[in-house]
Amino acid sequence: MGPQDQPDYVNAVAEIASSLAPMALLSRLQKIEHLRGRNRDGGRWTARTLDLDILLIGNEIIQMPDLLVPHPGIKEREFVLYPLHEIAPDLQFPCGNSLKSVLKKVSRNGLFVIEKEIKWGKELK
């Protein structure tokens, strides 16, 4: 998905707990992007300062004009799948496929880990 000639970038996956409804969560994430300098000028797949996506919400399938969950490209993007495997190796997608089975079909394409641990007052493992 998207052009292959973009500059290098750092990608990460995080699991969060939220009491927000899906559209409210999307709105909050887009506000954070805006506060960090993201300009949504209508261009798709362009370089950006920050891109926060909702990949999954449990086993929910959401099909709304502004929100598709699971994220439409989740099973094709090595930069999502490999970090996701680090935090949820036994994950099952809502369709029933396992993350492990999907990873067998997706090359790393030069993807590499730059850090295993991040320190924000305490070490995360």
Active site residues: 38, 48, 51, 53
Beta carbons of 23 and 67 less than 8 angstroms apart: yes
- CB proximity list for 21: less than 8 A, separation 6 or greater: none
In degrees and rounded to multiples of 5, residue 124 shows phi and psi of -105, 140
Handedness of CA 30, 92, 13, 72 (dihedral sign): negative
